[in-house]
């Protein structure tokens, strides 16, 4: 394998990824994510899949939310391995990206705001030019302002820093991400976001998926279940769980994967 020496600029689509992005109809979404810091992909899966994912989350979230979900039902692996999500993750956080988190939220009437923040919460400012975290929220109910949809501050991703106390209180310029059930809202680690308090009866159920660059520390550790998950779901899962790079191995760095890891980090 030849070594790659140049680094792909932020917002660029690699030659290897470009035909995949085009075939999946994601060119506009890549442009929106790079320019605006967020995008929405509608109609991600069948109604049957969305119903199954929602039902499973409800079963696993008796108190309104849950995390460490990947190994608890195959439907979560189906979600994180969706070709459109994998392609957007590669575009946003690199070819060797990892899975950081699979969590869920169930918000009923009166559920409050979680507070304005950027997902680059464990990075100091200024945030790096290359995005480090991609959040994908699978909306299993309609996203509306009254229903407690995600709130974003347009243009905040260009500040490349955390909001301060005054900005958190003011929510200047806030707008909702509104989309039908079955959509996935994606945003980068820079953009300031929160949610609107839910005013409607019923519940808003969301699956929260986070992908990260291969050099970032993940939120969740699936090492105890990695062999089983990889056996069930193959090489894509192996990459997402950090089993196909040289880093963080119990036997020390796996230098047989040095060139591959370095190349992925540049793409």
Using one digit for the tens of pLDDT, what is the confidence trace for 144-159?
999 999 999 999 999 9
Q: Evaluate if residue 62 carries a pLDDT over 80.
A: no
In this structure, the number of other CB atoms found within 10 A of the CB of residue 192 comes to 26
Mean pLDDT, residues 62-80 taken together = 93
Per-residue pLDDT at 209? 98
Per-residue pLDDT at 61? 81
Residue 55: exposure state from Cβ atoms within 10 A (0-12, 13-18, ≥19):
middle
Per-residue pLDDT at 100? 98
Mean pLDDT, residues 12-19 taken together = 97
Q: In whole angstroms, give the CA distance from residue 13 to residue 267.
A: 9
Note whether 216 and 99 are within 8 A (CB).
no
Which is it for strands 184-188 and 65-66: parallel, antiparallel or unpaired?
unpaired
Using one digit for the tens of pLDDT, what is the confidence trace for 119-139?
999 999 999 999 999 999 999
Task: Specify the CATH class of 18-265 in words.
Answer: mainly beta
Using one digit for the tens of pLDDT, what is the confidence trace for 182-194?
999 999 999 999 9
| Mean pLDDT for the chain overall | 96
């Amino acid at each position: 394998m030849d070594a790659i020496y140049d680094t792909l600029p932020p917002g660029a689509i690699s030659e290897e990824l470009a035909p995949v992005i085009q075939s999946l109809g994601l060119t506009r979404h890549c442009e929106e994510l790079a320019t605006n810091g967020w995008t929405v992909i509608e109609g991600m899966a069948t109604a049957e899949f969305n119903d199954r994912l929602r039902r499973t989350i409800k079963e696993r979230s008796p108190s309104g939310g849950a995390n460490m979900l990947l190994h608890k039902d195959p439907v979560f692996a189906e979600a994180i391995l969706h070709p459109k999500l994998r392609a957007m993750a590669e575009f946003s956080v690199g070819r060797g990206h990892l899975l950081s988190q699979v969590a869920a939220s169930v918000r009923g009437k009166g559920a409050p705001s979680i507070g304005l923040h950027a997902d680059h919460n464990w990075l100091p400012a200024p945030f790096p030019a290359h995005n480090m975290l991609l959040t994908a929220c699978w909306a299993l109910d309609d996203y509306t302002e009254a229903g407690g949809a995600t709130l974003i501050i347009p243009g905040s991703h260009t500040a490349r820093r955390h909001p301060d106390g005054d900005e958190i209180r003011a929510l200047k310029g806030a707008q909702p991400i509104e989309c039908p059930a079955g959509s996935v809202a994606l945003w980068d680690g820079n953009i300031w976001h929160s949610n609107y308090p839910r005013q409607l009866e019923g519940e808003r159920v969301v699956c929260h998926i986070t992908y990260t660059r291969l050099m970032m520390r993940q939120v969740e550790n699936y090492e105890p279940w990695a062999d089983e998950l990889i056996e069930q779901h193959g090489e894509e899962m192996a990459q997402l769980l950090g089993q196909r790079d040289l880093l963080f191995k119990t036997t020390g760095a796996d230098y047989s994967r040095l060139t591959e890891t370095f190349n992925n980090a540049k793409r």
